[in-house]
């Protein structure tokens, strides 16, 4: 059996693993399956005595786990999965089902029972297929593997138990780690003992997608969801092209360097009945906002805007063929994009990009936001599916979303693998390209000759500064892995005024400069780390040295929607601040605020200068306040 075509059947589908097991996550990730992790809330309290065979218990538990997630996600996570995978592994010996031990003594009893004996490991798997007709189709199966333990001494038993490994493993051992030393032989699928029967799973997928009528499945009625879709489209962020080729574009922000901003909902004559007094338009807009976001993410992920970029128009079938997707799914995605004004419909059967889509959503466009959009889809979206837990716990949900812990989200989460490094750098590069010009031109920097962009990533922001200020040279200072990969982002026209130095801005000496740039840096770190960095900068700066801070500033009066407040919900160790809070923060480290500029772009900016200790501080502050621009 060729596996890749089987896994490719799931391409473009929202596949969900209803398990927090890092072992299952690793097994499925290693075969290239793209999926989200949504741990099931099903309490594993089924009465084992009601099942004649151990595998029946494992299968039923797996099914209940998967169904709980499939039923919950449309309401709690605000998205409907295509497939949910549930699994449960049990170990049986002497007719007894052994699950995870509750404490060390329980682990001791389990391992003592297994010592010197052959036992069975069963994994039950349930694949829930979610259909539009308010029903589920469930395919379930099990796999059995025989395992023989060596005779275990008391010393070996307790040494293994005290390692901590048995405590989250069925049967009290992990065959893929230290527990493998206890095993004499294995008969059957090794990965089944680890926690997921991969071979059997792939065979079931092949049956489901190649012989759907013969697949061993049964249907279950979905609980009535009520639904939120009404006769009016609550979100307008795209434009539609009429049959005569004219583009009706409702987006007002269309200048280079500016972020496309959706206008308020435009109600047509057919929806006039919805425009009644007291109707909660704002709430309805927010209610359906996630659908618009995911439409944008999916279209970028599948490369829809790219395949349309070199054409005056393509049919649904042509687009579907180019993005390797179903005609039905492609048609619905294109129609949704037209309703959001991301795509224009040239005729009844042809589609093309709008002007803004060509400018901001095509991958190789100079102002492409694709890198940041894909970053939001792959990292931010999974984190926000666990927003309830984030709010309850006040912690980042990286482990719950991705199945693994991280001590340092920035380094461990992004820079362990080259493809993940590239994905993160693409995101930062696209934001810098779109925001760079507005930040670089926010202030008159003619008095500064050298600048250091601290954490400047690909150098996109640095190049915008040298374009805007001919007398300025900029050093980009960032981590060695970032500097190593910068060549992938170099502009066609080289500028020798931009250079790169590798280093850690917490550990290494900063390059000398008379202007330091901190763009999207301070909000990432804890207060202690922020003070550590600012103290270091303060010591490096001589009187009159400049410091430019570029962040999303909180709107203190809450008079407009705040990207900063929404971003803060990711619960990173850092936090968002208002311009006044940044001013207070920098003043404590010897910097005087000079100018504040709200760019109406993704980032705002503030300019500070290092105080001269020989000049009265009160006079410096009064002087600076006289030229503050808001």
| Catalytic annotation, residues | 88
Q: Which two tokens mark 38?
A: 């949504």
* Residue 485 falls in which region: left (phi positive, over 0), alpha (psi -120 to 50) or beta: alpha
Containing H/E element for 239?
A: strand 239-241
Residue 202, CB half-sphere, CA atoms under 13 Å: how many?
A: 17
Q: Classify strands 36-37 and 15-17 as parallel, antiparallel or unpaired.
A: parallel
In 3D space, the residue among 96, 122, 120, 121 whose CA is nearest the CA of residue 109 turns out to be: 96
SS (H, E, C) 594-608: EEEECCCCCCEEEEE
| Measured distance CA(432)–CA(305) in Å, rounded | 21
- Cα 148 to the center of its chain, rounded Å: 42
Q: DSSP letters along 313-381, please? A: -EEHHHHHHHHT--HHHHHHHHHHHHHTTSEEESSSSEEEE-HHHHHHTSTTSTT--HHHHHHIIIIIH
| Measured distance CA(312)–CA(338) in Å, rounded | 15
Task: Give the phi and the psi of residue 483 in degrees, each rounded to 5.
Answer: -65, -35
Give Cβ neighbours of residue 95 (< 8 Å, ≥ 6 apart).
none
Q: Classify strands 604-610 and 591-597 as parallel, antiparallel or unpaired.
A: antiparallel
Other beta carbons less than 10 A from residue 618's beta carbon: 8
Other beta carbons less than 10 A from residue 225's beta carbon: 11
Alpha carbon separation from 97 to 116, 160, 173, 425 (Å, rounded) = 17, 21, 14, 48
Give Cβ neighbours of residue 490 (< 8 Å, ≥ 6 apart).
459
Other beta carbons less than 10 A from residue 595's beta carbon: 18
The residue count for the chain: 630
CA end-to-end span of the chain: 65
Alpha carbon separation from 495 to 79, 107, 423, 454, 487 (Å, rounded) = 46, 64, 25, 19, 13
| Measured distance CA(296)–CA(318) in Å, rounded | 20
Q: DSSP letters along 42-95, please? A: ------GGG-SSHHHHHHHHHHHHHHHHHHHIIIIIS---SEEEEEEEEEEETT
Helix (H, G, I), strand (E, B) or coil at 146: strand
Residue with tokens 């889809």: 377
Q: CB–CB of 547/515 below 8 Å?
A: yes
Q: CB–CB of 468/441 below 8 Å?
A: yes
| Measured distance CA(372)–CA(368) in Å, rounded | 9
Helix (H, G, I), strand (E, B) or coil at 611: coil
């Amino acid at each position: 059996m060729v596996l890749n075509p089987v896994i490719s059947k799931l391409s473009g589908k929202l596949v969900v693993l209803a398990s927090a097991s890092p072992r299952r996550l690793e097994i499925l990730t290693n075969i290239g399956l793209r999926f989200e992790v949504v741990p099931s809330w099903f309490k594993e309290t089924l009465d084992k005595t009601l099942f004649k065979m151990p595998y029946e218990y494992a299968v039923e538990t797996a099914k209940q786990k998967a169904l709980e997630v499939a039923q919950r996600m449309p309401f709690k996570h605000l998205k409907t999965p295509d497939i949910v995978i549930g699994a449960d592994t049990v170990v049986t010996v002497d007719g007894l089902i052994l699950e995870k031990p509750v404490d060390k003594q329980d682990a001791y009893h389990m391992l003592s029972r297994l010592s010197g004996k052959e036992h069975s490991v069963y994994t039950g798997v349930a694949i829930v297929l979610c259909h539009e007709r308010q029903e589920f189709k469930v395919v379930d199966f099990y796999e059995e593997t025989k395992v023989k333990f060596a005779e275990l001494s008391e010393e070996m038993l307790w040494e293994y138990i005290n390692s901590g490994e048995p405590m989250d493993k069925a049967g009290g051992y992990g065959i893929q780690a230290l527990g493998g030393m206890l095993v004499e032989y294995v008969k059957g699928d090794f990965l089944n003992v680890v926690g997921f029967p991969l071979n059997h799973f792939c065979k079931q997928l092949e049956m489901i997608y190649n012989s759907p009528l013969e697949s061993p499945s049964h249907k279950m009625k979905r609980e009535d969801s009520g639904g939120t879709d009404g006769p009016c489209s609550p979100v307008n962020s795209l434009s539609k092209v009429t049959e005569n080729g004219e583009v009706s574009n409702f987006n007002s922000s269309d200048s280079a360097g500016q972020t496309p901003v959706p206008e308020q909902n435009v109600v047509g004559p057919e929806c006039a009945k919805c425009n009644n007094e007291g109707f909660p338009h704002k709430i309805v807009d927010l209610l359906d906002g996630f659908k618009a976001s995911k439409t944008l993410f999916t279209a970028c992920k599948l490369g829809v805007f790219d395949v349309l970029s070199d054409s005056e128009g393509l049919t649904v079938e042509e687009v579907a063929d180019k993005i390797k997707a179903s005609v039905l799914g492609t048609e619905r995605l294109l129609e949704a994009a037209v309703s959001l004004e991301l795509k224009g419909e040239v005729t009844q059967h042809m589609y093309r990009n709008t002007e803004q889509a060509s400018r901001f959503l095509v991958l190789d466009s100079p102002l492409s936001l694709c890198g940041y959009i894909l970053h939001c889809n792959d990292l931010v979206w999974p984190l926000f599916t666990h927003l309830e837990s984030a709010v309850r716990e006040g912690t980042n949900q990286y482990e719950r979303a991705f199945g693994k812990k991280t001590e340092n989200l920035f380094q461990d989460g992004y820079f362990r693998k080259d493809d993940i490094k590239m994905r993160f750098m693409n995101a930062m590069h696209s934001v810098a390209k779109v925001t760079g010009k507005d930040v670089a031109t926010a202030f008159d920097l003619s008095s500064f000759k050298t600048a250091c962009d601290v954490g400047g990533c690909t150098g996109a922001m640095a190049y915008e500064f040298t374009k805007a200020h001919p007398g300025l040279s900029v050093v980009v200072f960032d981590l060695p892995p970032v500097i190593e990969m910068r060549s992938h982002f170099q502009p066609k026209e080289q500028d020798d005024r931009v250079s790169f130095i590798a280093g850690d801005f917490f550990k290494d000496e900063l390059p000398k400069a008379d202007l330091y740039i901190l763009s999207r840096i301070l909000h990432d770190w804890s207060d202690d780390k922020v003070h550590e960095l600012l103290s270091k900068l303060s010591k490096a700066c001589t009187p009159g040295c400049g410091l430019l801070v570029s962040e999303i500033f909180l709107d203190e009066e809450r008079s407009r929607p705040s990207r900063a407040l929404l971003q803060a919900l990711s619960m990173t160790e850092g936090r968002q601040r208002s311009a006044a809070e940044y001013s207070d923060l920098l003043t404590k480290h010897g910097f005087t605020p000079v100018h504040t500029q709200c760019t109406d772009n993704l980032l705002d900016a503030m300019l500070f200068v290092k105080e001269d200790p020989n000049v009265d501080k009160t006079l410096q502050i009064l002087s600076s306040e006289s030229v503050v621009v808001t």
